[in-house]
Amino acid sequence: MIFSPTYYLSLFRAPGYIIKELERLRKNFFWGNTPSHKKIPWVAWCRITAPKGNGGLGTGSLRAANLALISKWGWRFKMNNSAIWASVIQAIHSSNRIHDISNDGIDF
């Protein structure tokens, strides 16, 4: 089975330790680090993930991507709640609202 972080990040709010580990893997790939050879990061990681307009590469953080992907499902639910998948969610949760997506106050 192939691991697809984007798929899982679109369905679940990832715990902090998972985001931290995925960010570590991303940093190591970007810097070219291997277990036997570490390279010096000449630019701060927050600078790399900054928007292009602010001088970064525009990659963004994985926490922001996680919340954006989850929010996309909330938006689809709110805009098209007559779809079959939305009807299933409504039947399971007996509500017309999706809420408590994160601790960051996102509420649909």
With 80 as the cut, is the pLDDT of residue 2 above it?
A: no
pTM of the model: 0.71
pLDDT in tens, 30-62: 888 888 988 888 889 999 999 999 999 998 999
Q: Evaluate whether residue 31 is within a structural domain.
A: yes
Domain of 35 in residue numbering reads as 5-93
Under 8 Å between Cβ of 62 and 19: yes
pLDDT score recorded for residue 80: 86
Q: Is the dihedral of CA 79, 70, 102, 98 positive or negative?
A: positive
What mean pLDDT do residues 72-86 have?
86
Q: Residue 100 domain-assigned?
A: no
**Residue 83 domain flag:** yes
Q: Residue 108: what pLDDT?
A: 47
Asked, for residue 41, whether it belongs to a domain, the answer is yes
The answer to whether residue 12 is domain-embedded is yes
Answer yes or no: is 103 within a domain: no
CA atoms within 13 A on the CB side of 82: 0
* Number of domains observed in the structure of the chain: 1
Quick one: what percent of the chain has pLDDT higher than 90? 33
**Cα angle: 46, vertex 101, 58; to 5 degrees:** 25
Q: At what angle do helices 62-79 and 16-31 cross, to 10 degrees?
A: 120
